[in-house]
Amino acid sequence: MATANSRMVAALFALGALALSGIVSTAARAQAPAVDPAAVQILKRMTDYLGSLKQFSMHTQINIEDLLASGQRIDEDVAASVIVSRPNKLRAERKGGLNDQNFYYNGKTLTLYNAPANAYATEPAPGTIEGLLDYARESLGLIIPASDLVYRNAFQLLMQDVTFATVVGKAVIGRVKCDHLLFSRPGVDFQVWVADAGRPLPCKYVVTDRGNPGRVSITTVSSDWNVAPEVTDARFTFVPSKGAKRVTFMPPDAGSTPSR
């Protein structure tokens, strides 16, 4: 009986030690530097490489998680491809259940073309791709595919307000071995996978909205990278077909309700 009691004491002690080690390890983790320089360095290698390219084209497959009012999740698939010729030419196409559209930017004008409706709108645009992306988003309420990676200062934009960064490990995406990185900033987590050998191209990235109780994410997998695409001027200028209807952009804040 005495042996059983002493065994019980030992077991309780072991349990207590486990609980204590849990507390200690949590405290240690909380004090550990949250931004791992190794993760930041890999991200910077990728953004520096993309920023150094005079021109490139790529294909992306985008999955957008969506919560219905019923709480059920559905995923929207969008295929997008982008051709960039710095400093002032960009062409993008986006195809999916919601959108079938082309973007043309030739350094002077931006055209958005909606193929199913054969309708397009053309606006004068700023003189650089970075200016164009800002203008499209802020003045037209327009998001151009893969713009996160197209910005020349993508590193600053991605690292802004980052409070946590770590190298999760390795992964193989589309037969490419990649480093898996995780970053957090207020309200948003993002994961980036970067090819670990050869050209440091982004393999995939996932953005998670932490503010949404469903933690929904947007996943982008990139492929078909080409750093010497054909960049003749004609590819970046829209020529309306016969019967194409010219329409306008509605200012993003132009609502039809008085409250706006």
Partner 1 sequence: MKTILKISLLTPAAVLMFIADVPPELPAPYVQLVPEAHAVFGVRRRSFRRGVVIGETAAASSAQHSQQSATAQQQATTSQQQSATAQQQSATAQQEAATAQQLGRAAPPPPPAAAGKPLPVGTVVSALPGGCTSTPVGGVEYYYCGGTFYRAVFQGNNLVYVTAQPK
Chain contacts with partner 1 (rule: CB under 8 A): 4, 7-8, 11, 14-15, 18-19, 22, 25-26, 29-30, 34, 64-69, 76, 94, 98-99, 101, 112, 114, 117, 119, 121, 137, 140-143, 147-148, 151, 157-158, 160-161, 163-164, 184-188, 190, 207, 209-212, 216, 218, 245-250, 252-253, 255-257, 260
Which C-beta is closer to partner 1: that of 149 or that of 231? 149
Alpha helices in 32-114 (DSSP H): 37-52
Shortest separation between residue 205's beta carbon and partner 1, angstroms: 9
Shortest separation between residue 149's beta carbon and partner 1, angstroms: 10
Which C-beta is closer to partner 1: that of 54 or that of 215? 215
Under 8 Å between Cβ of 155 and 41: no
Residue 174's nearest CA partner among 204, 151, 199 is 204
Which C-beta is closer to partner 1: that of 68 or that of 197? 68
Shortest separation between residue 197's beta carbon and partner 1, angstroms: 27
Please give the helix or strand (H or E) that residue 27 lies within, else none.
Answer: helix 2-31
Which C-beta is closer to partner 1: that of 159 or that of 229? 159
DSSP assignment, residue 241?
A: P
Coil vs helix vs strand at 1: coil
Shortest separation between residue 22's beta carbon and partner 1, angstroms: 4
What does the alpha-carbon distance between residue 53 and residue 83 come to, in Å, rounded to a whole number? 12
What does the alpha-carbon distance between residue 103 and residue 190 come to, in Å, rounded to a whole number? 26
Shortest separation between residue 241's beta carbon and partner 1, angstroms: 15
What does the alpha-carbon distance between residue 204 and residue 166 come to, in Å, rounded to a whole number? 16
